[in-house]
A and B are shown apart, each in its own frame.
Chain A
């Protein structure tokens, strides 16, 4: 199956993707449906994503926005009746994730791409000890390791997340929620992957444990240098730990920018609405406004822009033409909103100056040195900058 679609990245030469060595996961125009035929539900529509080495990319959105679906689809772990109907997804520029066979995927899985699931109680096999669940992975991917080596590595992994090694013989139900989640993280790092996908890893925990785990996670990331695709509905959380954030709504990517840029100066009305829903701990008291209405039923999507029924700034155009992802600030960020196409005046709330440079630079401690994204024209969305109003 050919992975190339009509919206080719700008660095394509002669149809062959010129791999930017920093881009680990590249997604173009991905469409994922549940079911087939007329009553198929479009869970993800035309998603573009880039995850660079060592970067923390936050994927934000309400439940039902398609963020988990997108992540699982990329790794081919989406359960039935999910089907990928269009688009491409590549790993390290060379591996076509969508056409890879079972063996190729198995080689990649956990070695390069690891997953941390949401509910650790359900994600750990209740009848196997923690140690067995570690050694499973080691045995499958490192056949040369001896039993002693596996034991040693397992103990090392546990200590890395602050759990004493004698817990290797415990069973999942004997551990607290926080410890279980730490075990999940340790398991994910067992083979030193370059990408870790985290699906709402702290949502099921209390706030204090949440903070602890996130701090440990970031420390590990600084130490080991893996990239993180962090899925969460908590935008304020992402603003703290992510380098860049992508916001999804009703299966579409509606805004993509550096974390602080989105937080201080959102460009899409939905992002603005999300941010106004969280009270700030500091600063003047302000009235909280939620977003009126509720997310659309994916089987019964509104015409044009999916957000327009709830949008306070909706134009006539929004009702009929779905906006593509428009590039802003010389490609440093993007937003799928007609307000940003230069034809109308942008409301003040959506035109705040970003106090930090347009795109966040990944922390210096991460090897190899990442090129600030501002210098490289982002591969995504270049042709879609033209407000053609149609899907490619």
Chain B
């Protein structure tokens, strides 16, 4: 477990994720203003950051920082719900398909493949578009709907892993003892799938953030429902990036927030990947750290077909 923490990728990823997690919980409490309040109605130009508005204002004089903090909770919550729901579906469908095989596997695999191939964003646009902008669905509902399009990837990974586990001895012995199928799946197979489940979860959360932000940016989800995507929608409508005096404080914070949140999760994912597959760890001669190699006079990069030979003068005693 401690080895996990030694990888810089995991540490950075963990820090970022924790920061954003906290943001989701206490963010709106920290906001100095309400995101909807227009501080003044006369000025039509966004104001740059100042003491009163740490991240400046929008075109209608709303505080950007407040929008960021309030919108953060919605964005992060939706992504987490999407990730959770999708992972539950993935485990259910993936492990069942892998364990039972034959027609259950064929059917569920075909279902998963269909959902994988179907382009998610256009489908979600149609769904949310028809839901109407009048209705204001809450974050959990949005998350679940997004999860419906995002479970297939994790399901495929889990099915593959379950298939290889099913052939192993400990499953056979459990069957011989007479353990019920659902018990075998839950207590014998599932614990071994934790890394895959973790990766699938993180991947789907990243997918959720991207998708939710995109949907808000498109205006398909009610634009009065504050999220980072919504901020970008308004910024784009006001052509904030095309103005001569770049209104960077309006569009950089929300975009950066999404990017950093996603990066934190992706780094965590890399870290888990490297932990599970040690060959991916680090660069340079596997098993010989770059420093040691250099001290011994060996080339830092291993070359295939050129096994290094220690110079007798530098041979370690």
A residues with CB within 8 A of B: 1-2, 34-37, 40, 72-73, 76-86, 98-99, 102, 105, 109
Interface size on B, residues (CB 8 A): 21
**Residue contact A84 to B288, C-beta cutoff 8 Å:** no
**Residue contact B308 to A83, C-beta cutoff 8 Å:** yes
Residue ID in chain A nearest B301 by CB atoms = A80
Which of chain A's residues have a CB closer than 8 A to the CB of B114?
Answer: none
CA distance A85 to B287 in the complex (A): 16
CA distance A73 to B305 in the complex (A): 10
B residues with CB within 8 A of A: 285-288, 292-293, 296, 298, 302-312, 315-316
Say whether, besides A36-B296, A72-B307, A105-B305, A80 and B312 are in contact (CB < 8 Å). Answer: no
Say whether, besides A80-B285, A81-B285, A37 and B308 are in contact (CB < 8 Å). Answer: no
**Residue contact B315 to A86, C-beta cutoff 8 Å:** yes
Name which of B286, B296, B305 has the most chain A CB atoms within 10 A of its CB: B305
Taking chain B's interface residues, is the majority helix, strand, or loop, or is none over half, making it mixed?
Answer: loop
> Which 10 A/B pairs are nearest by Cβ-Cβ distance?
A81-B287, A80-B302, A78-B307, A84-B309, A76-B307, A98-B309, A85-B310, A81-B288, A36-B292, A80-B285
28 contacts between A and B (CB under 8 A): A1-B311, A1-B312, A2-B312, A35-B288, A36-B288, A36-B296, A73-B307, A76-B306, A76-B309, A77-B305, A78-B307, A80-B286, A80-B287, A81-B285, A81-B286, A81-B287, A81-B302, A82-B307, A83-B296, A83-B309, A84-B309, A84-B310, A85-B310, A85-B315, A102-B303, A102-B305, A102-B306, A105-B305
CA distance A102 to B293 in the complex (A): 19
CA distance A85 to B303 in the complex (A): 17
CA distance A37 to B316 in the complex (A): 7
Contact of A34 among B287, B303, B310 (CB under 8 A): B287
CA distance A105 to B311 in the complex (A): 18
CA distance A81 to B302 in the complex (A): 8
Contact of B306 among A1, A37, A105 (CB under 8 A): A105
Min CB gap A346→B, angstroms: 37
Min CB gap A241→B, angstroms: 28
**Residue contact B307 to A83, C-beta cutoff 8 Å:** yes
**Residue contact A36 to B293, C-beta cutoff 8 Å:** yes
Which of chain A's residues have a CB closer than 8 A to the CB of B296?
Answer: 36, 83
CA distance A40 to B303 in the complex (A): 20
Contact of B298 among A2, A73, A83, A105 (CB under 8 A): A83
Which of chain A's residues have a CB closer than 8 A to the CB of B315?
Answer: 85-86
Which of chain B's residues have a CB closer than 8 A to the CB of A40?
Answer: 316
Min CB gap B302→A, angstroms: 4
Min CB gap A333→B, angstroms: 30
Min CB gap B295→A, angstroms: 8
CA distance A386 to B306 in the complex (A): 36
Say whether, besides A36-B292, A37-B316, A83 and B310 are in contact (CB < 8 Å). Answer: yes
Min CB gap A1→B, angstroms: 6
CA distance A336 to B298 in the complex (A): 33
Which of chain B's residues have a CB closer than 8 A to the CB of A78?
Answer: 307
CA distance A98 to B309 in the complex (A): 7
Which of chain B's residues have a CB closer than 8 A to the CB of A73?
Answer: 307
Residue ID in chain B nearest A5 by CB atoms = B312
**Residue contact A1 to B309, C-beta cutoff 8 Å:** yes
CA distance A84 to B285 in the complex (A): 15
CA distance A155 to B285 in the complex (A): 40
Which of chain A's residues have a CB closer than 8 A to the CB of B292?
Answer: 36-37
Which of chain A's residues have a CB closer than 8 A to the CB of B288?
Answer: 35-36, 80-81, 83
Name which of B292, B308, B316 has the most chain A CB atoms within 10 A of its CB: B308
Which of chain B's residues have a CB closer than 8 A to the CB of A2?
Answer: 312
CA distance A85 to B310 in the complex (A): 5
Residue ID in chain A nearest B316 by CB atoms = A37
CA distance A76 to B310 in the complex (A): 13
CA distance A84 to B298 in the complex (A): 11
